[in-house]
Amino acid sequence: MLHSSSTPKPLVSILMPAYNCEKFVAKALDSIVAQTYPHWELLAADDGSWDSTRRILNDYAVQDKRIRTFHQDVNQGYLKTWNRLLGLAKGDYITFQDADDWSAPERLDKLLTALEKNPGWGAVGSNYARVNEAGQILFTSQFETEPEKILQRMPEKFDFIGSALMVRRAVVDKIGGYHMAFDRIGAEDLYWAYRVAECSGIANVPDVLYYYRYNPSSVGGNLSDSHRKFISGAMVKKAIEERQRSGTDYLERNDPKEIRQIVEELEAPYLQDPGLFFERLGRRYFNEGRKAFARKLMWKSWLKTPHRLQRLRDFIYMLRN
């Protein structure tokens, strides 16, 4: 690290909302306790789980006083829980740990070193490995590392995942938390991270330091229960493109009527075509390798609109591949 023995070392605040993650949360916590950089606080909140997630968090908090718990008896959702923990954080730097993922032991050390060596960077992330429920690696990312290139590629490509970022406290204080327009529909971290990148730049170290696990029971949940979760990415893209043209956007203006109108425009195709949501969701899951679920969704898409023969052809293709 870049500190003399007489210089106080920065405190890193780690935010961990948790929901029904009893199978995975111990590994997430172990990965933080094992960090080579020891000056951290972990703010954990069980968000109304019905499994043993809360008990596990409490047990770890008893063993390590750096872990602070802020549980909620009524489920508030990831976004509200994250914002609440952000307001309670005391650190000089803010980072995240989803309760069903885990971090490499040197993650905090390497991200903090990168930020302290590069005072012009507002945030830094890393490459990540996507893993299945058993923890087996499915693939690893190859993100761009330079802030200018990362910013230029948005909104077509996001060379980071929000959970893997470490952000300077001064940048967080300027940007604020997640926008409530994304409550329970996802993609809140993409808009937020663009604001960070626009303000001060996001870079990446090339190392794989974060392990992301898909868990359908997690705080983020899955996409299959709401087409609004599927349009959240379009909401982000529209906001970013507007910012690139004019320096502001509809989310920053935060006019409820304007936001509602844009959401209604984006969701109109899904209301007009009852099979569209299942088609697009099926394609996404098929490309991610979840082929059995993708086939069910594509079949459902065709059943809802049997006059669209292309969906039947797509279903047959998925059966054969």
Last residue of a domain, one of 180, 213, 246: 213
Long-range contacts of 72-75 (CB under 8 A, 24+ apart): 72/45, 72/46, 72/47, 72/48, 73/48, 74/48, 75/19, 75/47, 75/48
Q: Is the pLDDT reported for residue 220 higher than 60?
A: no
CATH number at residue 79: 3.90.550.10
User: In Å, how far are 53, 181, 226, 283, 321 from 289, measured between CA atoms?
Assistant: 28, 30, 21, 10, 11
Same domain, 98 and 202: yes
Q: What is the mean pLDDT of the chain?
A: 93
Mean pLDDT computed over 34-62:
98
pLDDT score recorded for residue 222: 47
pLDDT score recorded for residue 6: 57
pLDDT score recorded for residue 209: 98
Same domain, 205 and 261: no
Same domain, 157 and 57: yes
Q: In sequence order, what DSSP letters do the residues of 206-264 get, joined into one string?
A: EEEEEEEE--TTSTT--STT-HHHHHHHHHHHHHHHHHHHHS--HHHHT-HHHHHHHHH
Same domain, 248 and 312: yes
Same domain, 185 and 237: no
Residue 30 lies in a domain: yes
Same domain, 201 and 269: no
Number of domains the chain is built from: 2
Residue 202 lies in a domain: yes
CB-based contact 151:142 (threshold 8 Å): no
By C-alpha distance, which of 51, 170, 169 is closest to 99? 51
Q: Is the pLDDT reported for residue 8 higher than 90?
A: no
Q: Is the pLDDT reported for residue 236 higher than 50?
A: yes
47: containing domain: 12-213
3-class SS of residue 109: helix
Same domain, 74 and 200: yes
Q: What are the tens digits of pLDDT across the range 176-210?
A: 999 999 999 999 999 999 999 999 999 999 999 99
Q: In sequence order, what DSSP letters do the residues of 35-65 get, joined into one string?
A: -S---EEEEEEEBS-SSSHHHHHHHHHHH-T
- Both structure tokens of 217: 């029971």
Same domain, 202 and 306: no
- Both structure tokens of 200: 């001060």
pTM: 0.89
Last residue of a domain, one of 187, 213, 239: 213
Same domain, 27 and 175: yes
CB-based contact 122:200 (threshold 8 Å): yes
Q: Is the pLDDT reported for residue 40 higher than 80?
A: yes
